[in-house]
Amino acid sequence: MDEVKLNESKPTKIVPSEKLQLFTEHWSPKIVGDFNDSQIQVVKIQGEFVWHHHEDDELFIVVKGHLTIQFRDKNLEAEPGEMILIPRLVEHCPKTDEEVWIILMDKKGAVNTGNVQDDDKTATEYARI
């Protein structure tokens, strides 16, 4: 009989607001954990992003500020403690008037600008904090 290998990871407590205080740059996601085939990231955003879509679902959870996600047919708004779930292949564009802190769940290896390359906003490396 084959032995079952137990998960060698340890339970982890993550305090997003503490992680978000470790950096100042906008549109630069930082990895804080892994969840199945997804990465949990924290990111500070301000202004308008680029219109794009992803091959997989994406989840935004607002920690601080007011987030607007623009879609071609409507906008969705979220306050701290609220989430916006974006299904795969749905074109969207985050926008804020002020700095917003968010938790982002995305497929491991996903590029923050999805199907679009942008010289200023595409993150090529994700630091783990």
SS3 99: strand
- 103 burial via Cβ count (<10 Å: 0-12, 13-18, 19+): buried
Residue in the block written with tokens 């090529």:
124
What rounded mean pLDDT belongs to the chain?
91
What's the pLDDT score for residue 96? 97
Q: Which helix (H) or strand (E) holds 20?
A: helix 16-20
**Top CATH class, 16-128:** mainly beta
Question: pLDDT digits over 2-34, tens only?
Answer: 555 555 678 989 999 999 999 999 999 999 999
Residue 127, phi then psi, degrees to nearest 5: -75, 150
Question: pLDDT digits over 51-75, tens only?
Answer: 999 999 999 999 999 999 999 999 9
What's the pLDDT score for residue 75? 98
Give residue 118's pLDDT band: very low, low, confident or very high (50, 70, 90).
confident
SS3 27: coil
